[in-house]
Amino acid sequence: MLLATQTKLGQLIGTSDWTVVLNVLFYVIFIVFIFYGQRIQMYVMLREVEVSLYKLKFIKEEGRKVAIETIREIGKPQADPTDKVDRFLEYFTIGPQNLDPAGIVSKLEHILDVRDTRFKDEVKSMAPASDETQVNNLENTLEAASALNFIYKVIRHYYLLGKKTMSLYVIMQIQMILPLVMREAEAYASALKAFAYGQPIGDGAGALVAARLMYGYEPRKIAKDCVVATVPYEGRTAFVIKAEGPGGNVGKPGDAIKEVIEENEGKIAMVVMIDAALKLEGEELGEVAEGVGAAIGGPGVDQYKIEESLLKYHIAINAVVIKEDVGDAVSPLRKEEFDSTDKALERVKQVVVEKTKEGDKVIIAGIGNTIGIGQ
Amino acid sequence: MSGNTGSITASKISSFVLLVVFITLALSLVAIIFAAAIVGGFVSAGNDMTGAYVLLALGVLGVAICTYVLAETRRRLLKLKIVVPPVMTTIECRKCGIKTVRDFQRGDYIFKETEPCQKCSGMMLITAIYREVKEKEKERFPF
């Protein structure tokens, strides 16, 4: 058939010489694709990764620049903070050994506490003029810049490894997950500005619901970086807990819930947790859903503590979540998410009224980063 | 200081790709001009016009490919732009309910008391901070 097409083409353009030329050309292309098809495919994929890598490098540099500029602007350092920022971007945390998992939660908590203290000390030394709220925001900005730096390095590693080994499978793996990685990097890029300016982010939707519940009531400090307010509602007493704002901070809601339970000698009828949850594609942004269990993300230390406290006194736990995707969770709060906090608030009130009776005590915990949200 | 809008753009086009595209474009244009010269009789090629038509076809094909490659590169560059939409702050007077919306300023946070109300001298309170994203019309799925 190929030959017939070429002959027809030859007849069409009127010379037999052309037929020969086209014949040879078709065979050459055919042979090249037989032997080098995979290699050509690899080059195409490498090129695709390379384009994304340029973009990642640009975003990473932008992150570093934003972090340095914000530190200079807010922290008024005596010396140039660039070296310290570069050192911060390379920090790592080694998780505890899990060959013998007994007691691993306390080990992990200890490591996370040490990391947090270390980060805060570093930020304070970089930005001596900043207050507590600004230190928290700067820490979040640096963590976002550090995440971008890490993403860039991992993608670069696989790109160079693929180029060096010319292994289709190494290149293919990175090329296949690239759209998801880029989405995450873009989310961190917009998070940088949010953290630098102290704007509320999508992850803070739970904390915002708690803040709206406790507004007008005197909050008191409880556990590390957490506040609680006693709010009367429909004959019940609600202990509303959230991380202390408006600095970027998630607090230790596990300790806070445990403390409130212990203060009340376990006489708590129910715990309601409100948090932002990852939505599946196809679900609406800001959709509110209800369920049971400890609605809290992170490394798992707080979830473990909450579950332990609840088990000790056999307290029921309900959860209300606001659906959002990974990009929205770390980007400035969207209008849809803000509006959905009204719906979440109504659901929480409904759960409290339906599942408890007058005179009961309930804990309502708004989970998430409280950046840009006061109380 | 508002300064909460902006975009991040990466503008890297491979110089090798650009070189290849421009060489191909130049050759294609030469082919078209040459073909036109043969057809117009400015260059003598006998009675057989086949060569001229082949040159014309190759030239047009080359120009089309170059235009496509350049358009694709431009589309990719546009895709590399990250637009950070503006963040708005809503301030409300708890006493008279007057509401104002302005650009976010550093230091704003939800439930922050700002300046006194110009209407009733009650305290103004920041009640909302959010960004509005204008989404393209969503693709409709039957499920």
**Residue in B54, B80, B104 nearest the CB of A199:** B104
Can you say whether the dihedral through the CA atoms of A300, A302, A305, A306 is positive or negative? negative
B39 and B105 both lie in a single domain: no
Beta-strand pair A288-292/A316-324: antiparallel
pLDDT digits (tens, 9 = 90+) for B62-97: 999 999 988 887 776 666 565 667 899 999 988 888
Contact B84 A190 (CB under 8 A): yes
pTM: 0.81
Q: What are the residues whose beta carbons fall under 8 Å from the beta carbon of A269, sequence distance 6 or more?
A: A236, A315, A316, A355, A356, A357, A360, A361, A362
Say whether B131 and A332 touch across the interface (CB within 8 A).
yes
| Residue whose tokens read 């950046």 | A371
Mind telling me how many Å the CA of B26 is from chain A's nearest CA?
23
What pLDDT was estimated at residue A347?
A: 95
Instruction: Place A1 in a pLDDT band, splitting at 50, 70 and 90.
Output: very low
Nearest chain A Cα to B80, which residue?
A55
**Mean pLDDT, residues A26-47 taken together:** 88
Same domain for B77 and B109?
A: no
Q: Which residue has the higher pLDDT, A325 or B79?
A: A325
Alpha carbon of A260: minimum distance to chain B alpha carbons (Å): 25
Count of CA atoms in the C-beta half-sphere (13 A) of A307: 11
Instruction: For residue B136, tell me if it sits in a domain.
Output: no
Q: Which residues pair with A292 in a beta bridge?
A: A318
Q: Are A337 and A298 in contact (CB under 8 A)?
A: no
Interface residue of B1, B14, B53, B111 to substitute, partner A, most A CBs within 10 Å: B111
Domain contains B138: no
Verify that B105 and B63 share a domain, yes or no: no
Domain that holds residue B113: 86-131
Which is more confident, B72 or A50?
A: A50
Nearest to A199 among B8, B80, B129 (CB): B129
- Alpha carbon distance, N-terminus to C-terminus of chain B: 45
Whether residue B73 is found in the same domain as residue B108: no
Q: How far is Cα A112 from Cα A101, in angstroms, rounded to an integer?
A: 17
Identify whether residues B79 and B92 lie together within a single domain. no
- B53 min Cα distance to partner chain A (Å): 9
What is the pLDDT of chain A when averaged over all its residues? Answer: 90
Say yes or no: B69 and B13 in one domain: yes
Cross-chain Cβ contact B4/A193 below 8 Å: yes
Q: Could you tell me which residue, A110 or A326, shows the higher pLDDT?
A: A110
Structure-token pair, residue A43: 């080059």
Report chain B residues touching chain A, CB-CB < 8 A: 4, 6, 8-10, 12, 48, 50, 53-54, 76, 80, 82, 84, 87, 104, 106-112, 128-133, 141, 143
Residue B37 domain-assigned (yes or no): yes
Q: Is residue B48 situated within a structural domain?
A: yes
Contact call for A246 and B80, based on CB within 8 A = no
Q: Residue B52: which pLDDT band, with cuts at 50, 70 and 90?
A: confident
Segment A260-302, tens digit of pLDDT: 999 999 999 999 999 999 999 889 999 999 999 999 998 999 9
Helices vs strands, H then E, count in chain B: 2, 6
C-alpha distances in angstroms, B123 versus A208, A350, B95, B108, B129?
21, 31, 8, 15, 18
CATH number at residue B100: 3.30.1330.30
The Cα A87–Cα A146 span in angstroms is 10
- Note the pLDDT of residue B8: 47
Pairwise CB contact (< 8 Å): A51 & B8:
no
Same domain, B95 and B76: no
Task: Give A202-366's CATH code, choosing from 3.40.50.300, 1.20.1200.10, 3.10.180.10, 3.40.50.10900.
Answer: 3.40.50.10900
For chain A, the first-to-last Cα distance in angstroms comes to 77
Find the CB nearest A374 among B12, B109, B130: B109
CB atoms B130 and A332 under 8 Å: yes
Q: Where are the alpha helices (DSSP H) in chain A?
A: 2-13, 16-70, 82-89, 104-126, 132-165, 168-197, 205-214, 253-263, 301-313, 326-330, 335-355
Residue B68 and residue B17 share a domain: yes
Residue for token digits 């704007």?
Answer: A199
- Predicted pLDDT of residue B136: 66
Q: What is the pLDDT, as a whole number, of residue B2?
A: 41
CA distance, residue A68 to nearest chain B CA (Å): 17
- Specify whether B79 is located in the same domain as B103: no
> Which pLDDT value is given to residue A2?
47
Question: How many Cβ pairs within 8 Å bridge chains A and B?
Answer: 93
DSSP state of A203: G
CA-based max dimension of chain A: 100
How close A95 gets to chain B, by Cα (Å)?
34
Q: Which tokens in the block code for residue A121?
A: 């000390």
What was the pLDDT predicted at B109? 93
> Quick check: A374 and B112 CB within 8 A?
yes
Residues forming a β-bridge with B92: B99, B125
Interval A110-116 mean pLDDT: 94
- From B49, which residue of chain A is nearest by alpha-carbon distance? A13
Least confident of A318-332, B14-28, B106-120: B14-28
- Single-letter amino acid, residue A90: E
**Average pLDDT, integer, range A165-171:** 90
- Cβ separation of B82 and A59 shorter than 8 Å? yes
* Inter-residue contact A279 to A322 (CB < 8 Å): no
A68, A72, A125 from A79: Cα distances, Å:
12, 9, 10
pLDDT digits (tens, 9 = 90+) for A202-245: 999 999 999 999 999 999 999 889 999 999 999 999 999 999 98
**Residue A7 — very low, low, confident or very high, per pLDDT cuts 50/70/90?**
low
Report residue A331 as tokens.
Answer: 């980007």
Shared domain for B75 and B14, answered yes or no, is yes
Nearest CA in chain B to A186: B82
Higher pLDDT, B11 or A98: A98
Residue B139: inside a domain:
no
**Cβ contact, residue pair A335, B111, below 8 Å:** no
pLDDT tens per residue, range A69-90: 999 998 888 889 999 999 999 9
What span, in angstroms and rounded, lies between the C-alpha atoms of B41 and B50?
A: 14
Does the distance separating the beta carbons of B4 and A197 come in below 8 Å? Answer: yes
Interface with B, mutate which of A215, A338, A341 (most B CBs under 10 A): A338
CA distance B45 to chain A (A): 15
CB A368 within 8 A of CB A245: no
Cα of A104 to nearest chain B Cα, Å: 37
Q: What is the mean pLDDT of residues A162-180?
A: 91
Interatomic CA distance for residues B31 and A61, integer angstroms: 45
Compute the distance between CA of residue A169 and CA of residue A273 in angstroms, rounded to an integer: 43
Q: Where are the alpha helices (DSSP H) in B5-139?
A: 15-39, 50-79
Whether B53 and B25 map to the same domain: the answer is yes
Domain count, chain B: 2
Task: Give B113→chain A minimum CA distance, Å.
Answer: 10
Of the candidates B53, B110, B141, which has its C-beta nearest A374's C-beta? Answer: B110
Structure-block tokens of residue A223: 């556990």
Q: Where are the domains of chain A?
A: 47-197, 202-366
Lowest-pLDDT range of A222-231, A309-318, B42-51, B63-72: B42-51
Kindly determine whether residue A215 and residue B53, on different chains, have CB atoms separated by under 8 Å: no
A337:B130 CB<8 A: yes
Res. B6: pLDDT tops 50: no
Does residue B102 belong to any structural domain of this protein? yes
Q: Residue B53: closest CA among chain A residues belongs to which residue?
A: A13
